[in-house]
Structure 1
Amino acid sequence: VEIIIGNIVVRVGRHVDEAHMLRVIRAVRSA
């Protein structure tokens, strides 16, 4: 699974839950 944030591509496994990914996305966007 690839989540693209701006020009950043985050590769995550299917075992990663959505809630965790949302926290990661918020952290990346606020960085």
Structure 2
Amino acid sequence: MYLLTQDQVNQLDAVAGDLSYSLIVGQDLA
């Protein structure tokens, strides 16, 4: 199990959000 700092968690959440948004937009455009 990894121990992450709050900054790392926030960064991962932001990246995951961007990926999810890109997938949703990609599906809408397809």
- The TM-score, its normalising length taken from structure 2, stands at 0.50
Structure of larger gyration radius: 2
Between Structure 1 and Structure 2, the one with more strand by share is 1
More helix by share: 2
Choose between structure 1 and 2 for higher RCO, CA contacts under 8 A separated by at least 6 residues: 1
